[in-house]
Structure 1
């Protein structure tokens, strides 16, 4: 029996879709019910050699062990950096497991700083699971006045997981034409805790008073946060092109994996 090209492509697409559904179901079956409960948001640790990590699960018949903890440092500019794996082992996870991690086991760990853990949970009969912690802080062992001040001045936005997303278009100071399509391009780092994009809003700034006001909602929805996301704006609002003395910027609304609302802003630009 001969298959048409259309039928063959349809069969391949269907098989891929079924496989993706099966993979998603397997991950849900083996990773559902897992939660990384410690460190908590913004939690401070005075001893970098004793940072507590707690994982909980809903008990079932699937055997699980924690076998690795990776660490990322988040700089004051919101850029995450992978440092290494300060903890490796085999720790049985029944309903709850608490580990003590020495973050100084990773080379060149910056202290004090804000960090995120990635915890690996191994299933004996299924796919491995990865859990991301909330952002926490670790001091240096010196506890100097300078270190204490740095700890106190660390970004609360980063504490909430609002980092590693950037509006890369429009460019700083760009001059855009009214009633033309403008791409609002959003870039997301693979280590970002942002899970979904939920809206893009255009604002206007009076350059003489520095007061700003909302112009329009460009897009509202719920988009899984990929590494790149693009929204088109027609720049056709009332008064577009008559904005001498004004600058504009976009605000991107988003949600983290820990259900924190985050906002990111473009550079200012002009509409002519």
Structure 2
């Protein structure tokens, strides 16, 4: 499972400019957006649909002028997709060291994991920098609550129901999909396989660190390792060279990525495919 020299050289030549641009953009974002955080709501926050919650944004003060200009509410679907719900606020709110905005979660939303995405503009002198997009941690929304006979607060949904509040999504492992290979594909030995991961702009994943090939639950090979931050899409061509290919088994790739919200490695799986001689 290695790149051929010819293929690797071609990939390097084609992608050199785009990689340089991506690195330059990543450096700019790190410079202008470093020290920015959404500290509330937290993972432990529980909100009843229709009730208010507070969104707190903090920053490390520097010579730049930062202004909060927008606030969006997102949910995480059961299959791990970031889903835009609505814009909850827009305007110009000066962010010096800390700022807090209140929002009422819509009454008609279903129970699940939600989070906020904050838009922050930058200005130094008369020069505009890149906009910063920062998200809160996911928090739990329930459809109702009541006080039981013992005087304890109970929620309509169990907060420990993993089908509603997926623990992987709680730590930021969502919003990334492995779209190639697709389920049902068949590849021949010695063929180059196109592996592609697509990342939602509102995902809380960060850098790709590893791509592995599996046969069922068995690790066959590591196709790539590194640390590659990307905004939208990551592509890799893997040279399918195996000593003992099993034409009856299902194969798939696993992509490992870091989370922006926890010391956690997120794992995303491609569709199952076959290998033929």
SS at match of 1:236: coil
CA distance in 2 between counterparts of 1:96 and 1:231 reads: 41
Assess if the C-alpha contact under 8 Å between 2:37 and 2:57 holds in 1. yes
| Cα shift readout 1:59-118 (whole Å, capped 9, x = no counterpart) | 3354444343111122112222222222345544332233322122xxx85232211211
CA distance in 2 between counterparts of 1:61 and 1:229 reads: 34
Compare CA radii of gyration and give the structure with the larger one: 1
Alignment of 1:123-272 (within 5 A): 123=122, 125=124, 126-127=128-129, 128-141=131-144, 147-149=156-158, 152-153=161-162, 154-205=165-216, 212-240=217-245, 243-259=246-262, 260-272=264-276
What is the TM-score of this pair, normalised by structure 1?
A: 0.76
Alignment CA distance shift 1:129-1:172 (3 Å): closer
| Cα shift readout 1:137-186 (whole Å, capped 9, x = no counterpart) | 22224569894137733211111121122222222132221122111222
Give the number of aligned pairs: 244
How far does residue 192 in structure 1 lie from its aligned partner after superposition? 1.9
Gaps of 5+ in 1: 1-13, 206-211
CA distance in 2 between counterparts of 1:188 and 1:249 reads: 19
Assess if the C-alpha contact under 8 Å between 2:211 and 2:255 holds in 1. yes
* Structure with higher strand content: 2
CA distance in 2 between counterparts of 1:38 and 1:265 reads: 31
Alignment root-mean-square deviation, CA: 3.1
What is the TM-score of this pair, normalised by structure 2?
A: 0.75
SS at match of 2:250: strand
Residue number in structure 2 paired with 1:120: 119
Assess if the C-alpha contact under 8 Å between 1:173 and 1:270 holds in 2. yes
